[in-house]
Structure 1
Amino acid sequence: MAASLGLYFGGTSACLALHKDGKTSVIANDAGDRVTPAMVAFTEKEQLVGLSAKQGRARNAVNTVTHVKQIIGRRYDDPVVSFVNQNHPFKIVDKSGEPMYQLEMADKHYLKSPLEVATLIFKKLKETAEDQGGYDEEDVVLVAPVDYSSEQLNLLRTSAEKAGFNVLRIIGEPSAALLAHGVGQEYPSEQWNVLVYKLGGSSLSVSILNVNNGIFRILATETDRTCGGDQLTSLLVESCAKDFKRQWKVDVNESKRALAKLYNTCENCKHVLSTLPTASGSIDSLHEGIDFSTSISRAKLDSLANSHYQKAVQPIRTVLEKAKMTSADIHKVVLVGGSTRIPKLQQYLKSCLPEAEVLNSVAPDEVLAIGAAIEAAILTGKDDEEIELKEDDLHLECCSKNILVKVIGTDGEAELKTAIPKLTYFPVKKQHDFKVNKGQTSVCLHVYEGDNGAIDTATLLAKLTLADLPTDTEEELNISTVFHFKREGTLHVSCSEATSGKIESLTIGHEDLEESDEDDDKPDEPAS
């Protein structure tokens, strides 16, 4: 029987799962690891992807790039890009507003786009599927954050397709997590409120979903990109650097290479401490020819990271407030991300949600890939015994960002008004009415996409002009605009004026949301 693939592409790691003969399993890479580092190292002679790039990071830190998931599809001035740029040894530069990785080799600078780097990682995963699993399947379902913009989703799809995958669908991370655990499938008539807690290497996201009759509805979500497993590792690095300086009177922070070596060792210790009470590490010639060895207890990690744990559970309270729920309303908790293995953090989670059942039977760093593989099997109809769901029973698509319209406020300044709120489910139809001044012959509707109402951070999707408006009326004209988000993810916008019967419309496809600038040469008068 043919196989179906599910792929999770994270900020620090990636995972590929296979569904075949009613079973889902993770495909190990050429090193035997079930999770592959999502990083690429560039040298003058070759490009290293995955574990080989991670192993050489100490020697080639400036040319070893990571966190592509956070960078792809964003503008250079995005705060997320700035945060990544400030906290990692590689350099991100501005090229016409787009962030680019700057490489330094042989006294020359080279630029690589996030799309190119993502494609290399996807190619590595494609090779893993072919070499280790012996499968040449191309059909794959990808997993993405629910707050990914249309451009980010398109670039994620493009990079996977350039690597040789045929992307069947991109599903949200919370939906994939629930699919992996079979939530709502064994007893479809029952209704659950499920909190998906994802703490990966580079970010934290918490979502609440309602599961009813096999349909997943996202009620609220919260993301913190300053809280992740990387920060826990950095706390260990800082502590070990102080111990080294106290013992040898030498500062490790003076050497980027020494810091990279120390970071790798502390990261390994952190992973060990998730299952064992103590972890040890040793580094030959850490700095200035001095060897370093350390033994770290779980109690020490918990002491260093106590404030970090408290910060990591704060979004739970925030997302409960957004959903207008209490902890007693949550029936189940799904853990996602390798950092959720930490026992002390699990205690904090349990104290926040004491009545909820914690689902962690699936490895938290593999759960999203497994859920995506199950989705791929459903879409391709390759498992009619184990999976009886129909495609439309899995989840409902929703807006990743607010759909906004530019209006003129009472102070005469342009501002954005929400036409369709973020996380609204498809299909949906909303109407927005406004007045135009007497004697005004045309009006131009500006449609934006954004997280909030700030014009400088929103993306212009389209302009729709309604021209030749009647001027012989004594009253202000009423303009009616209808926004119709269809099931397949396209946005249909119509603008009409009842007196004259004038009407204009356009459709914005999810694959070309930013190509609607054909009205630039028409009058550019925003709605009032």
Structure 2
Amino acid sequence: MLVCLNVMRIINELTASAIVYGLDELGLKATVGNTHLGVEDFDNRMVNYFVEEFKKKNKVDIGGNTKALRRIRSACERAKRTLSFAFDTIIELDALYQGIDLYSSLSRSKFEELNMELFRECMETVDKCLIDTKKNRSCIHDVVLIGSSSRIPKVQKLLQEFFRDKDLCKSINPDEAVAYGTTVQAALLSEDFKKAPELVLLDFTPLSLGVGRMRDKMSVVIPRNTTIPAKMTKRYMTAEDYVTSFQIDVYEGERTRATDNNLLVGFIFLVFLVFRMVIISIDADEILNVSS
């Protein structure tokens, strides 16, 4: 069966999930994220733990065996989900390496111990977001959980403590919030849906956009949390006179070093003057345009 989709607009996940709880006008105040922290980091801590445990018990290092690591990672992902509602679980893998089995238990407390540093980084990110909005915790009405990692009990507990025992919103499946919000936005844009809610959506850039400068420095052109569509210009000077061309690499992220951010695209521009302007624009669909 052939299905044709009419793509009317592209929105990011944060905006889509926020639409679920939007009123007449939805304007996101700030977004903060850690592009170097994700679900895989929790899994990596667990995988490393079991690799070391297997090594201690059997005097065999499986750190370089791709197949064994893949099996352990799959088991860790299942265990992580189980520990969201259970206090302990069993990791059992037959003939993991050279006919040796892996059989071990993992408690929720051990899982939290392995990942406590990462949980604290999550809370630091929440704190940075509040700082950007220039609001204190008492001004927050609702705390909405989105994404599978929000099911981790320790994450929920730390969030509740951070917001001074405020109840967390769990009225919608965290795995479905993005799809639900996207559906609402599609209804708003479609003429076929007459009962769609009245909602004005003000989208934004979740990460800063800029170019790499000399000594690997990130020069921000469009700061994060800028309402889109947006178009900004920045003037740069070539390092030497009479060069005929130079390359501009466009990054997204908040790190000081350009190469620590996500490289989007690179361009080679012809130079006719000493000073050149770099123009970066992003439309309502978050489509990036770069010119000089």
The verdict on a shared fold, with TM-score over 0.5 as the criterion, is yes
Post-superposition shift, 1:398? 4.8
Post-superposition shift, 1:298? 1.3
Structure 1 residue aligned with 2:12: 172
Counterparts of residues 177-192 of structure 1 (less than 5 Å): 177-179=17-19, 182-185=20-23, 188=24
Post-superposition shift, 1:226? 2.6
Once residues 227 and 268 of structure 1 are traced to their aligned partners in structure 2, the CA distance between those partners, rounded to angstroms, is 20
Q: What secondary structure, in the 3-state scheme, does the structure 2 residue paired with 1:384 have?
A: coil
Once residues 421 and 245 of structure 1 are traced to their aligned partners in structure 2, the CA distance between those partners, rounded to angstroms, is 47
Q: Return the structure number with greater strand share.
A: 1
Change (3 A) 1:259 1:465: closer
Work out whether 1:395 is the aligned partner of 2:202. Answer: yes
Work out whether 1:284 is the aligned partner of 2:122. Answer: no
Structure 2 residue aligned with 1:312: 122
Change (3 A) 1:269 1:459: closer
Once residues 271 and 281 of structure 2 are traced to their aligned partners in structure 1, the CA distance between those partners, rounded to angstroms, is 20
Normalising by structure 2, what TM-score? 0.74
Find the partner of 2:60 among 250, 259, 270.
250
Structure 1 residue aligned with 2:74: 264
CA contact (8 A) 2:42 2:115 kept: yes
Counterparts of residues 378-527 of structure 1 (less than 5 Å): 378-385=188-195, 387-389=196-198, 393-398=200-205, 401-402=208-209, 421-426=223-228, 450-451=251-252, 510=287, 513-514=289-290, 516=291
Task: Give CA-to-partner distance per residue, 1:266-318, whole Å, 9 cap, x none.
Answer: 11111111112222232110111012222222122122222221122111112
Higher relative contact order structure (alpha carbons within 8 Å, sequence separation ≥ 6): 2
Work out whether 1:351 is the aligned partner of 2:158. Answer: no
Once residues 420 and 244 of structure 1 are traced to their aligned partners in structure 2, the CA distance between those partners, rounded to angstroms, is 48
Change (3 A) 1:290 1:388: same
Q: What secondary structure, in the 3-state scheme, does the structure 2 residue paired with 1:169 have?
A: coil
Structure 2 residue aligned with 1:138: 4
Q: Following superposition, which runs of at least 4 residues in structure 1 exceed 3 angstroms of deviation?
A: 396-404, 415-422, 426-433, 446-467, 483-490
Once residues 447 and 175 of structure 1 are traced to their aligned partners in structure 2, the CA distance between those partners, rounded to angstroms, is 30
Q: Return the structure number with greater helix share.
A: 2
CA contact (8 A) 1:398 1:426 kept: yes
Task: Give CA-to-partner distance per residue, 1:29-75, whole Å, 9 cap, x none.
Answer: xxxxxxxxxxxxxxxxxxxxxxxxxxxxxxxxxxxxxxxxxxxxxxx
The count of corresponding residues between Structure 1 and Structure 2 is 274
Q: What secondary structure, in the 3-state scheme, does the structure 1 residue paired with 2:101 have?
A: strand
Change (3 A) 1:138 1:306: same
Find the partner of 2:49 among 227, 232, 239.
239
Post-superposition shift, 1:230? 1.5
Q: What secondary structure, in the 3-state scheme, does the structure 2 residue paired with 1:394 have?
A: strand
Change (3 A) 1:402 1:252: closer
Q: What secondary structure, in the 3-state scheme, does the structure 1 residue paired with 2:16 have?
A: helix
In structure 2, runs of 5+ residues without a counterpart are 236-246
Once residues 42 and 53 of structure 2 are traced to their aligned partners in structure 1, the CA distance between those partners, rounded to angstroms, is 17
Structure 2 residue aligned with 1:337: 147
Task: Give CA-to-partner distance per residue, 1:95-130, whole Å, 9 cap, x none.
Answer: xxxxxxxxxxxxxxxxxxxxxxxxxxxxxxxxxxx6
Give RMSD over aligned pairs. Answer: 4.1
Counterparts of residues 315-330 of structure 1 (less than 5 Å): 315-330=125-140
Post-superposition shift, 1:374? 2.2
Aligned partner letter, 2:203: L
Change (3 A) 1:431 1:224: closer
Aligned partner letter, 1:329: C
Once residues 249 and 350 of structure 1 are traced to their aligned partners in structure 2, the CA distance between those partners, rounded to angstroms, is 43
Post-superposition shift, 1:221? 2.3
Aligned partner letter, 1:425: T
Once residues 234 and 96 of structure 2 are traced to their aligned partners in structure 1, the CA distance between those partners, rounded to angstroms, is 64
Structure 1 residue aligned with 2:174: 364
Q: What secondary structure, in the 3-state scheme, does the structure 1 residue paired with 2:30 have?
A: strand
